[in-house]
Structure 1
Amino acid sequence: MTHQETNHIFTKIAFKPLRTNLFNIVLLSFFLTIGSGNLYSQDINKKATLISPKKAPKSSPETLVKSTEKQSDTIKKDSLKSKKAFLEGKVKYKAQNYTKIDQKKKHITLYDKAELYYQDVELKSGIILLDYEKNEVYAGRIKDSTGKYTQLPNFKQGANVVEPDSIRFNFKTKKAIIWNSRSDQGEFKIKAALTKKENDSVYFLKGARFTTSKDVDNPEYYFQTNKVKFVPGKKVVTGVTNMVIANVPTPIALPFAFFPMSKEKSISGILLPSYNDSNTRGFSLQNGGYYFALSDHYDLTLLGDYYTNGSYGMRLESNYAKRYNYRGNLNIRLENLVTSERGYPDYTKQKIYNIQWSHSRDSKANPNSSFSASVNMGSSKYFKRSINQLNIGSNLNNTLSSSVSYSKTFSSLGPQARLSLTATHSQNTQTEQIDMTLPTLQFSVDRMYPFVKKDGIKKGFFKNINLQYDLSARNSITTTDSLFFKPKMFENAKVGLQHTIPLSTNFKLFKYFSASSSLNYKEVWYTKTIQKEYNNSLGKVVDTEIKGFDAYRTYSFSSSLGTTIYGTFNLGSTKKIQAIRHVMRPSISYSYTPSFAKYYDTYAMDGSGTMLKEYSRFEGGIFGAPGNTNSNILGFELSNTFEAKVTDSDSTKTEPKKVMLLNNLNFSTSYDVNADGIKTLAWSPVRVSGGTQFFDNKMNVNFGATLDPYAIDNSGKRINIYNINNGGSLFRMTSANMTLNYALSSSDKTKSKNDNTQTQRNGGREDDLFGRPNLGNHQVSQFDDTDEEGEDTISEFFHSKLPWDMTFAYSLTYGNNNREKKIIGNSIMISINADLTPKWKTGISTGYDFVQKGVTYTQLRFERDLLSWRMDFNWSPFGTYANWGFFIGIKSGVLSDIKWDKRSTIIR
Structure 2
Amino acid sequence: MFTNAFKSILFFSPALVCTITFAQVDKNNDKNGNSKVVTDSIKLDTIIPVKEKIEFIVDRESDDERHDLKKRTSYFLRNSRVTYGDMSIYADYIELNWNTGDVYAEGKRDSIGQITEQTKFVQGNQEFFQDAFKVNFKTKVGIAYNVRMTEGEGVIIADKVKRVNDSVMYLHRADYTTDTYFKDGKTKDPDFVLRASPGKLLDNGDQKVLITGPINMRIYDIPTPLVAPFSYIPLGSKRSAGILMPRPGERSDLGFFVEGIGFYLPVGEYFDIKMTGDIYTKGSWGLRTESTYKKNYKFSGRFAANFEKRISGIKGLTTGNNAYNKNDLFGVSWSHQQDPKSNPYTQFNANVNFSSSKYYQNSISTQYIENNQVYTNNINSSITLNKKFRDSPFSATLSMGHSQLLTQPTSQIISDSNNNITLTAPRLNVNMTRIYPFAPKAGAKKGLIQNLGLDYTLQAANEIRTNDTDIFTKKMWDEQSRLGASHRVNLSTAVTLANYFPLSLTSTYNETWSDQKILRTYNPINQRTIDTRIKGFSAYRTFNINASISTNIYGTFINSNKNAKIQGIRHVISPNIGFSYNPNFQDPSWGYYSKYQKDNTSLVVPLGQDKEDVWYNQFEQALYGTSIPQLTNSLNFGVLTNLELKVKDDSDPKGYKKVKIFESLRFSSSYNFSAESFKLSPISMSGTTTFMDRKVNVQFGGQFNPYKLEFEPGKNAGKYIDELVMPRLTNFQIGTGYSFDNSTFGGKKFEPKNYKKRGEIRDENFYFDDENYAHFAIPWSLNASLNYTYNKGTLREANHTGSIMLNGSVQPSPFWNINVSTNYDFVDNKITMLNLGLERDLRSFRMSFNWVPMGRYKYYGFMIALKSSMLSDLKYNDRSRTRF
The two structures have a TM-score, normalised by structure 2, of 0.80
1:741, CA displacement in angstroms? Answer: 1.4
CA distance in 1, matches of 2:299, 2:55: 54
Corresponding residue of 1:471: 458
Summarize the Cα distance change of 1:538–1:267 in structure 2 as closer, same or farther, 3 Å threshold. Answer: same
Report if the CA contact (8 A) 1:747-1:803 is conserved. Answer: no
Task: Kindly indicate whether residue 824 of structure 2 is the aligned counterpart of residue 856 of structure 1.
Answer: no
Higher relative strand content:
2
Identify which of 390, 412, 415 aligns with 2:368. Answer: 390
CA distance in 1, matches of 2:789, 2:865: 45
CA distance in 2, matches of 1:200, 1:626: 77
CA distance in 1, matches of 2:436, 2:235: 64
Report if the CA contact (8 A) 1:87-1:171 is conserved. Answer: no
Summarize the Cα distance change of 1:202–1:292 in structure 2 as closer, same or farther, 3 Å threshold. Answer: closer
SS in 1 for 2:599: coil
Report if the CA contact (8 A) 2:650-2:656 is conserved. Answer: no
Summarize the Cα distance change of 1:454–1:819 in structure 2 as closer, same or farther, 3 Å threshold. Answer: closer
Counterparts of 1:428-507 in structure 2, within 5 Å, are 428-430=405-407, 431-455=418-442, 457-490=444-477, 491-507=479-495
Task: Kindly indicate whether residue 578 of structure 2 is the aligned counterpart of residue 589 of structure 1.
Answer: yes
Identify which of 687, 690, 706 aligns with 2:685. Answer: 687
Summarize the Cα distance change of 1:890–1:44 in structure 2 as closer, same or farther, 3 Å threshold. Answer: farther
Counterparts of 1:364-383 in structure 2, within 5 Å, are 364-383=341-360
Report if the CA contact (8 A) 1:795-1:801 is conserved. Answer: no
1:369, CA displacement in angstroms? Answer: 2.3
Counterparts of 1:798-813 in structure 2, within 5 Å, are 799-813=775-789
Matched to 1:342, the amino acid is K
Matched to 1:473, the amino acid is A
Corresponding residue of 1:636: 637
Corresponding residue of 2:732: 736
Summarize the Cα distance change of 1:469–1:342 in structure 2 as closer, same or farther, 3 Å threshold. Answer: same
CA distance in 2, matches of 1:139, 1:650: 69
1:118, CA displacement in angstroms? Answer: 5.4
Corresponding residue of 1:60: none
Task: Kindly indicate whether residue 194 of structure 2 is the aligned counterpart of residue 223 of structure 1.
Answer: yes
Identify which of 541, 545, 564 aligns with 1:553. Answer: 541
CA distance in 2, matches of 1:815, 1:539: 33
Report if the CA contact (8 A) 2:578-2:636 is conserved. Answer: yes
1:464, CA displacement in angstroms? Answer: 1.7
1:554, CA displacement in angstroms? Answer: 1.8
CA deviation string 1:107-159 (max 9, x = no partner): 76666655555554444445555666875554444456899753332332332
Report if the CA contact (8 A) 1:829-1:845 is conserved. Answer: yes
Corresponding residue of 2:614: 613
SS in 1 for 2:821: strand
Counterparts of 1:709-858 in structure 2, within 5 Å, are 709-715=706-712, 716-724=718-726, 731-746=727-742, 793-795=765-767, 799-817=775-793, 824-858=800-834
Matched to 1:703, the amino acid is F
CA deviation string 1:71-124 (max 9, x = no partner): xxxxxxxxx99x9999963543234xx777788988766666555555544444
1:875, CA displacement in angstroms? Answer: 1.1
Corresponding residue of 2:701: 704
Matched to 2:616, the amino acid is Y
1:612, CA displacement in angstroms? Answer: 1.9
Corresponding residue of 1:873: 849
Corresponding residue of 1:778: none
Corresponding residue of 1:38: none
Report if the CA contact (8 A) 1:666-1:690 is conserved. Answer: no
CA distance in 1, matches of 2:111, 2:352: 69
Matched to 2:224, the amino acid is T
1:507, CA displacement in angstroms? Answer: 1.9
Matched to 1:667, the amino acid is F
Report if the CA contact (8 A) 1:140-1:166 is conserved. Answer: yes
CA distance in 2, matches of 1:88, 1:319: 45
CA distance in 2, matches of 1:649, 1:135: 81
Counterparts of 1:36-185 in structure 2, within 5 Å, are 89-95=57-63, 113-115=79-81, 120-128=86-94, 136-142=102-108, 149-185=115-151
CA deviation string 1:771-819 (max 9, x = no partner): xxxxxxxxxxxxxxxx999999444755543222222122233344457
Corresponding residue of 1:410: 389
1:193, CA displacement in angstroms? Answer: 0.5
CA distance in 1, matches of 2:113, 2:843: 31
Corresponding residue of 2:879: 903
Matched to 1:855, the amino acid is I
Report if the CA contact (8 A) 1:126-1:150 is conserved. Answer: no
CA distance in 2, matches of 1:457, 1:484: 56
1:349, CA displacement in angstroms? Answer: 0.7
Matched to 1:272, the amino acid is M
1:339, CA displacement in angstroms? Answer: 0.8
Summarize the Cα distance change of 1:810–1:535 in structure 2 as closer, same or farther, 3 Å threshold. Answer: closer
CA distance in 2, matches of 1:683, 1:153: 88
Unaligned runs of 5+ in 1: 1-42, 53-79, 725-730, 749-786
Equivalenced residues, count: 786
CA distance in 1, matches of 2:798, 2:116: 78
CA deviation string 1:305-350 (max 9, x = no partner): 1212221112222222223322222222222111124323311111
SS in 2 for 1:802: coil
Mean Cα displacement is larger for which, 600-609 or 333-342?
A: 600-609
CA distance in 2, matches of 1:116, 1:669: 89
CA distance in 1, matches of 2:79, 2:658: 61
CA distance in 1, matches of 2:828, 2:490: 51
Corresponding residue of 1:318: 291
CA distance in 2, matches of 1:91, 1:892: 39
SS in 2 for 1:894: coil
The two structures have a TM-score, normalised by structure 1, of 0.78
Corresponding residue of 1:332: 305
Corresponding residue of 2:399: 422
Summarize the Cα distance change of 1:134–1:444 in structure 2 as closer, same or farther, 3 Å threshold. Answer: closer
SS in 2 for 1:879: coil
Report if the CA contact (8 A) 1:352-1:381 is conserved. Answer: yes
CA distance in 2, matches of 1:119, 1:666: 78
- CA RMSD in angstroms comes to 3.9
Unaligned runs of 5+ in 2: 1-37, 408-417, 602-609, 713-717, 745-758
1:361, CA displacement in angstroms? Answer: 2.2
Summarize the Cα distance change of 1:500–1:236 in structure 2 as closer, same or farther, 3 Å threshold. Answer: closer
CA deviation string 1:692-745 (max 9, x = no partner): 364563x33222233333342235333334434xxxxxx433332322211122
Summarize the Cα distance change of 1:394–1:44 in structure 2 as closer, same or farther, 3 Å threshold. Answer: farther
CA distance in 1, matches of 2:140, 2:834: 65
CA deviation string 1:557-610 (max 9, x = no partner): 112222344555445776676555544443223221111212323211117752
Summarize the Cα distance change of 1:647–1:676 in structure 2 as closer, same or farther, 3 Å threshold. Answer: same
Report if the CA contact (8 A) 1:116-1:123 is conserved. Answer: yes
CA distance in 1, matches of 2:762, 2:167: 44
1:275, CA displacement in angstroms? Answer: 0.9
Mean Cα displacement is larger for which, 146-155 or 471-480?
A: 146-155
CA distance in 1, matches of 2:421, 2:574: 41
Report if the CA contact (8 A) 2:632-2:675 is conserved. Answer: no
Corresponding residue of 2:379: 400
1:256, CA displacement in angstroms? Answer: 5.0
Identify which of 236, 248, 252 aligns with 2:222. Answer: 248
Summarize the Cα distance change of 1:468–1:283 in structure 2 as closer, same or farther, 3 Å threshold. Answer: same
CA distance in 2, matches of 1:125, 1:400: 63
CA distance in 2, matches of 1:791, 1:250: 27
Matched to 1:804, the amino acid is W
Report if the CA contact (8 A) 1:747-1:792 is conserved. Answer: no
Corresponding residue of 1:763: none
